[in-house]
Amino acid sequence: MTNIFMSIARKVSQTWILLRDLQAIRKSGAFNQGWYLAKNPDLVQAKVDPLLHYLRYGGFEGRDPSPDFCSQWYLDTYADVKRSGINPLVHYLRYGRQEKRETRSTGQGNKTVDTSNAGFPGEDKTQRIFCLSMQRTGTTSVGKLFRDFGFRWAGWPADQQNDWSGSWYEGDFEKIFSSPAFKWANAFEDSPWFLPDFYKVLFSRFPNSKFIILTRDPDAWFQSMLNHSQGSVVGRTRIHCKVYRRELEYFDLLHSNAIDEEIENHRGSKKTMKLIGHAKHYKDVYRLHNTEVQDFFQRHAPGALHVGRLEDPDKWKKLGKFLGIEVPENYDSRENVSISRGNNQ
């Protein structure tokens, strides 16, 4: 009986430690889920939780949680860490930082990473890039280009993990800007950056940034929206209706008990409200967003915005020129993750 109780106690202790370490990594912002999956495509196929995988296996296998922390270097440099059996990033967050231990970023060799700032990684001081394109307009392909050319990318996984869209809806922009994931990244796409009028906040708050907007034929865009969601609204209905200006319809249905708030605002649930029958409305909203963004920057900072067409075969070369990078002639950034990503808002 004593052995049974001891076994149960060990399992409880192990579970508590696991949960504590998961929380420590999440809070630090030092784990970039999108980057980790991009660098480890075998995990996408396996459909495992990327953070849990890194904590339990990846760190010990020499996989890196982000471009700013080299797990293998940390283990090879500090033999006591390797002997301890503690995940290298967890050790750094719990002990190494206070002990002034050095770290290395991915592929950095012997160059020391500056860890003098209180957060990890430190706030990015370089120019930020925001993609303002609406969903179904090449946003994930822009994100792939960011990753391929070494930018610190934040896309839909970061929004999902930090609920930036929820913070935008509540007007709590500082919660977005103060999050470690935002401070770490320097290139952003998808939600919440394209949400209504947010580009004005971004331009005012980060005036040295560059902005991108891709456009496409409105009919093709709406058909892509239908295909993406089988004709239902995309993501959380409350936020979707705010973005696509169907708020009154949403509230009328909600207050008449025609829809269930919890079901409608669960990302993966089957929605009552549909896109079908509202083609002109959605295409007008799409055209208005694209027009308003271009008009705003034309009046305030024409050189800060790059406008591209999704149908343009040279779009990546032109975008590369705007960003100051050389994009090869045969480069293809197409990426469509409709099936695997689900609805992101």
Indicate if 89 and 137 belong to the same structural domain: no
Indicate if 28 and 146 belong to the same structural domain: no
Average pLDDT over residues 235-246: 95
Indicate if 248 and 201 belong to the same structural domain: yes
Indicate if 267 and 173 belong to the same structural domain: yes
pLDDT tens, position by position, 178-223:
898 998 899 999 999 999 999 999 998 888 899 999 999 999 999 9
Size (the chain), residues: 345
Indicate if 168 and 36 belong to the same structural domain: no
Indicate if 300 and 203 belong to the same structural domain: yes
- The answer to whether the peptide bond before residue 192 is cis (omega within 30 degrees of 0) is yes
Residue 224: which CATH number? 3.40.50.300
pLDDT tens, position by position, 70-113:
999 999 999 999 888 899 999 999 889 888 888 887 655 443 43
292 domain-assigned = yes
Indicate if 84 and 204 belong to the same structural domain: no
**Model's pTM, two decimal places?**
0.64
- Total count of domains within the chain: 2
Indicate if 145 and 70 belong to the same structural domain: no
Burial class (CB in 10 A: 0-12, 13-18, 19+), 143: buried
Choose the final residue of a domain: 73, 96, 119: 96
54 domain-assigned = yes
Write out the residue range of the structural domain in which residue 44 sits: 11-96
At 112 the pLDDT is 40
Burial class (CB in 10 A: 0-12, 13-18, 19+), 278: middle
172 domain-assigned = yes
Indicate if 72 and 181 belong to the same structural domain: no
Indicate if 327 and 214 belong to the same structural domain: yes
pLDDT tens, position by position, 276-325:
999 999 999 999 999 999 999 999 898 999 999 999 999 999 999 999 99
Q: Output 344 or 196, whichever has higher pLDDT.
A: 196
Burial 280-292 (b: 16+ CB within 10 A, else e): eebbebbeebbee
pLDDT tens, position by position, 7-53:
554 564 567 788 889 988 888 888 888 888 888 888 877 778 899 99
108 domain-assigned = no
Indicate if 82 and 189 belong to the same structural domain: no
Coil/strand/helix, residue 213: strand
As a whole number, the mean pLDDT across the chain is 85
Indicate if 247 and 329 belong to the same structural domain: yes
Nearest residue to 307 (alpha-carbon basis) of 127, 126, 131 = 131
The pLDDT confidence band at residue 2, using thresholds 50, 70 and 90, is low
